[in-house]
Structure 1
Amino acid sequence: MRFLAALVLWLFTTVGLAVAVPALWTQMTVVDEDGYAALAASAATDPRLQDAMAGELTTQLVALGADSGYQLNPQLTRQVADSYTRNAGFPGQFGQANRIAHRWMFTGAVPTGNSTDQWLIDVAPMLSDPSFRATLGSLDLQVPPTLTVPITVDAPELQPGKLRWLATWGPWASIGAAVLTGVFALLTLAAARSKGKGLTALGVSALLVGAAGWAGIEVGRRFVDDALNRTSGDIRTVAEVMVGHAEDSLHLWLTATLLAGVALVVFGVLVAVLGGLLRRPGRDRPAA
């Protein structure tokens, strides 16, 4: 009976861990606005994203100049954009620019002038950078407070605030999953006849979850590609790089889970061996 109880609790622990790891990662990296901005800033250190954003900023600045009656030199503008996206301040500004996209999806905040169902980033802060100002010289070219660029095409399933429910309940769900997993893990240890075997079993849980997570990412690539097909041009490259950095971040979490599993298995085996050695002298003592 005790073995059955320990087995059921171990299963609950494994399922809880399988929910808690991706839930915590999603909350801290995607749902949380600061976490998402940090992810975007990290992706902005990638040369592919820098080149793509330089191309997009060139397009936006040349179009802005044309609207104001100026013919900007695309080659010169691109050189300035390349220099800007490679300076130390670009990742932070790119992270800030992506906050508008995050708010659109998770809070329903719609930028002024956006009447379409599109996911947008705000490039105005980047075009207002002193490097562009210096190049424009005496041109009376005013960058508007907000200049949004669509990340996706119009789609009926993409609506402002589509993931508001996730922003509301995500923190509670992720913390709850983590707490329940910890409780089930402690109960599993308490129910196990051997603490060493109990620790080893928990290590196996972590190994299973880590391996399943890696496999799940590979399976999910098809759905990610379908989402990326909603973008095109330089913005598609930006989206691809950001998705790649998100995958790398999740891979780190799963790798940490695997390493924790290995550590628990090794520790559990050591505890079991030491426990056996400590019990053996008592067994070998001849009866009086």
Structure 2
Amino acid sequence: MRFVLTALLWLLTTVMLAVAVPAVWAQQNVVSEQGYADLAASAATDTRLQDAMADELTTQITALVADRGYGLNEMLVHQVAAAYTGNAGFPGQFGQANRIAHRWMFTDDIPHANTDDQWLIDIAPMLSDPSLAATLGNLDLDVPDTLMVPVTVPSPELRPGRLQTIATWGPWVSIGTAVLTGVLALLTLASSRRRGKGLAALGVSALLVGAAGWAGLEVANRYVDDALNRTEGNFRRIAEEMVIHAEDSLHHWLNLTLIGGVALVVIGVVASMLGGLRRQPELTGGVER
């Protein structure tokens, strides 16, 4: 009966750990506005994202100038934009721009949204950067306070605040799953006849979850590609780099899970061996007596 209880607790622990790892990662890096901005800023250090953003800024600057009756050398504009996206201040501004994109999807705080079927991002802060503003200033052009450009093609599935429920309950779910996983792990240890074997079993749980996570990401890639097909123009390339960076971050978490699993298995095996050596003299002594 005790074995059945321990096995059940171990199974529940494994399932909860499989839920907790992606849930906590998603809360920290996607659902959290600060976490998402930090993820975007980190991704913006990649040269491929910088090149894609320079192309988009070139397009927007050229269109802005054309609307005011001017013409600019597009190659020169691209050189200026590339210099801007390559400087140290760009990642922070890219992260800030993604804050507004995050609010569009996760909250109803979207005062500048002018459409309800496309995901928008405000690039006005980037165009207001001194290195870019100086180029536009020579033409007596003012960058608007906000310049919302669409990230995705129009879709009835996209609307402001669609993921607000996730933003509300995400923190509770991530905390709850993490705490419940810890409680179940402790109960599994408490019900085990041998603590060493219990630790090793929990290590196996972590190894299973880490391996399943890697496999799950491979399967999810095709669905990610479908989502990327909804992005427009240069933002497709930008979104691809963001996804790659997010996957690298989740892979890091899964690797830590695997490392933790290996450590628990090793500790459990060593503890079992030491326990066996400690019990052996007692058994031998009992036979001699």
TM-score range, shorter chain: over 0.9
| Structure 2 partner of 1:221 | 221
Aligned equivalents of 2:120 and 2:136: distance in 1? 26
AA matched with 1:71: G
1:266 lines up with 2:266 in the alignment: yes
AA matched with 1:198: G
AA matched with 1:246: A
Q: CA deviation at 1:70?
A: 1.6
Alignment of 1:191-206 (within 5 A): 191-206=191-206
Q: CA deviation at 1:134?
A: 2.2
| Structure 2 partner of 1:43 | 43
Aligned equivalents of 2:268 and 2:74: distance in 1? 64
Q: CA deviation at 1:116?
A: 3.7
Aligned equivalents of 2:75 and 2:256: distance in 1? 46
1:114-159 CA distance string (max 9 Å, x none): 1241111111000000001222343211111111111101101111
| Structure 2 partner of 1:71 | 71
Tell me if the contact between 2:113 and 2:120 (Cα under 8 Å) persists in the aligned partners.
no
Aligned residues between the structures:
288
AA matched with 2:128: S
AA matched with 2:284: D
| Structure 2 partner of 1:2 | 2
Aligned equivalents of 2:266 and 2:54: distance in 1? 50
| Structure 2 partner of 1:86 | 86
AA matched with 1:110: I
| Structure 2 partner of 1:19 | 19
| Structure 2 partner of 1:182 | 182
Aligned equivalents of 1:107 and 1:204: distance in 2? 39
Aligned equivalents of 1:75 and 1:287: distance in 2? 93
When the two structures are superposed, what TM-score results if normalisation uses the length of structure 1? Answer: 0.98
When the two structures are superposed, what TM-score results if normalisation uses the length of structure 2? Answer: 0.97
Aligned equivalents of 2:90 and 2:113: distance in 1? 26
- Secondary structure class of the residue paired with 1:149: strand
| Structure 2 partner of 1:257 | 257
Q: CA deviation at 1:113?
A: 5.4
Aligned equivalents of 1:111 and 1:55: distance in 2? 27
| Structure 1 partner of 2:140 | 140
- Secondary structure class of the residue paired with 2:161: coil
- Secondary structure class of the residue paired with 1:121: strand
Q: CA deviation at 1:111?
A: 4.2
Distance 1:111 1:33, change over 3 A: same
Identity fraction in percent: 69
AA matched with 1:221: N
Q: CA deviation at 1:66?
A: 1.2
Distance 1:111 1:239, change over 3 A: farther
AA matched with 2:127: L
* Larger CA deviation: 138-147 vs 172-181: 138-147
AA matched with 1:90: F
Aligned equivalents of 1:47 and 1:226: distance in 2? 24
Unaligned runs of 5+ in 2: none
Aligned equivalents of 2:8 and 2:62: distance in 1? 64
- Secondary structure class of the residue paired with 2:25: helix
* Larger CA deviation: 106-115 vs 215-224: 106-115
| Structure 1 partner of 2:123 | 123
Q: CA deviation at 1:77?
A: 0.6
Aligned equivalents of 1:113 and 1:198: distance in 2? 54
AA matched with 1:180: L
Aligned equivalents of 1:20 and 1:204: distance in 2? 16
Aligned equivalents of 2:146 and 2:181: distance in 1? 44
Aligned equivalents of 1:226 and 1:5: distance in 2? 43
Aligned equivalents of 1:76 and 1:116: distance in 2? 35
Aligned equivalents of 1:283 and 1:246: distance in 2? 55
AA matched with 2:174: S
- Secondary structure class of the residue paired with 2:193: coil
AA matched with 1:284: T
- Secondary structure class of the residue paired with 1:98: helix
- Secondary structure class of the residue paired with 2:121: strand
Unaligned runs of 5+ in 1: none
| Structure 1 partner of 2:55 | 55
